[in-house]
């Protein structure tokens, strides 16, 4: 997993590789916390209820990207505006 400073409530693109599947899953979700070796997220696009919190073993997460990472740093909007946009997801 890449070294990115995660902020509670911010939205990220998570890359997940489950040990029992050959394909990598990619999804967007809000970061909640890391407890020992477990990542906790909510407002995930994979969950029908946005209030559902999901815990995932950290070893399954291969990469985490911010919106700025996704746009390859070519985004002309400030970080504050990007955070506001992600709040509507």
Tokens of 6: 């995660």
Taking the domain 11-86, which CATH number applies? Answer: 2.30.30
Write down the pLDDT at residue 19: 87
Q: Which residue has the higher pLDDT, 49 or 33?
A: 33
pLDDT digits 0-9 by tens, 10-27: 888 899 998 888 889 888
Q: Does the pLDDT at position 79 exceed 70?
A: no
Give residue limits of the domains in the chain. Answer: 11-86
Report the C-alpha gap between 70 and 57 in whole angstroms: 23
DSSP 53: -
Q: Does the pLDDT at position 33 exceed 90?
A: yes
Output the pTM of the full model. Answer: 0.76
Percent of the chain with pLDDT over 70: 73
């Amino acid at each position: 997993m890449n070294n990115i400073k995660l902020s509670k409530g911010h939205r990220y693109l998570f890359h997940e590789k489950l040990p029992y599947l050959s394909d990598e899953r990619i999804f967007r979700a809000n970061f909640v916390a890391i407890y020992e070796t477990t990542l906790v997220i909510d407002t995930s696009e994979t969950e029908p209820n946005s209030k559902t919190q999901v815990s995932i073993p950290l070893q399954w997460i291969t990469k985490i990207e911010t919106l700025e990472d996704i746009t390859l740093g070519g985004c002309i909007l400030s970080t504050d505006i990007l955070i506001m946009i992600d709040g509507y997801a």
